Amino acid sequence: MTARPKCTIHDHHYGWDNSLAPALEVESGETIEFEVVDSGGGQFTPASTSADVTALDFSKINPVTGPVYVHGAEPGDALQVEILEFRPSGFGWTAIIPGFGLLADEFSEPYLKLWNYTDTSAEFHHGIQVPVRPFPGTIGNAPAEAGHHSVVPPRAVGGNMDIRDLTAGSTLHLPVAVKGALFSVGDTHAAQGDGEVCGTAIESAMHITLRFTLKKAAKLRTPRFSTPGPVTAHIDQKGYQVTTGIGPDLYAAAQDATRNMIELMMAEYALSAQDAYLLCSVCADLRISEIVDAPNWLVGLYLPKSIFS
């Protein structure tokens, strides 16, 4: 049973800054519910179109809810965050944003897909169902460095990590870099593949309930987490289509694996290049298969067959 939250926190901010006043102060062991705005800051609605992608106000991108001050937290400690529950909104979006994504040079036109989803699935279009598995794309503590810092890149204290396995039942440990930790969370996703290759997942506003426990003198260098049970059991029943990229550069190999999957999906499933790219982002997983046999490394992109009826 989910622990009863002390309260729901609604305050959100843009960027990391350890000088921000806490929105809430808590003790170790307390449970808090967060109201999380989607990564677009609520700029997309059910009436939005691809034209609205070019009108995005990027100063409102990736808001995070917080910060939360944890009493007793000091640099060198770790903050244990138990992810207890999600209450998804049921509405989400995925977009190709010009200049962003693994294949940004090849997908330069704005494109928007709107989703309505249930607790278990999101329909891409007739015959294609993506399993819903909520998680927070951005979750972390404030960095030690003074000033304003972008939310976009992940950091040693967490942040925009986009780890799709931080689902309900997972426990995350985050390094504490400043007094009070100053924890924030945002960028909730209804579904995402490992890699989030087009730059967006199924971006969706949600409520998320978390429990905090302070671990003194943990001296954790980077985040670590544990998950409850298999991480792909929800989609692997029918196997996968897998394309590869091979070469001396892992980034280029990941691009090649993604290009090859887009071509496969266009040929075998009659999808447009844009739709194939979006599907790769929300449900296909990039994996490093080999990184020791120099001079070439191998990356695979795993597309679950179960999404196709």
| Predicted confidence (pLDDT) per residue in 270-296, tens digit | 999 999 999 999 999 999 999 999 999
Q: Which residue has the tokens 């990039």?
A: 286
| Predicted confidence (pLDDT) per residue in 126-178, tens digit | 899 999 999 999 999 999 999 999 999 999 999 999 999 999 999 999 999 99
Please, what are the domains in the chain? 7-226 (2.60.120.580), 240-307 (3.10.28.20)
Examine the pLDDT at 1 and tell me if it is beyond 70.
no
- Do residues 281 and 94 touch, judged by C-beta distance below 8 A? yes
**Angle between helix 250-269 and helix 273-283 axes, rounded to 10 deg:** 120
| Predicted confidence (pLDDT) per residue in 9-36, tens digit | 999 999 999 999 999 999 999 999 999 9
Q: How far apart are CA 100 and CA 253, in angstroms?
A: 18
Q: Is the dihedral of CA 284, 207, 169, 211 positive or negative?
A: positive
231 CB-near residues (< 8 Å, 6+ apart): 165
The three-class DSSP label of residue 260 is helix
Examine the pLDDT at 38 and tell me if it is beyond 70.
yes
Amino acid 233: pLDDT: 63
User: CA separation (Å) from 35 to 91, 120, 138, 204, 243?
Assistant: 15, 21, 13, 11, 38
First-to-last alpha carbon distance for the chain, in angstroms, is 34
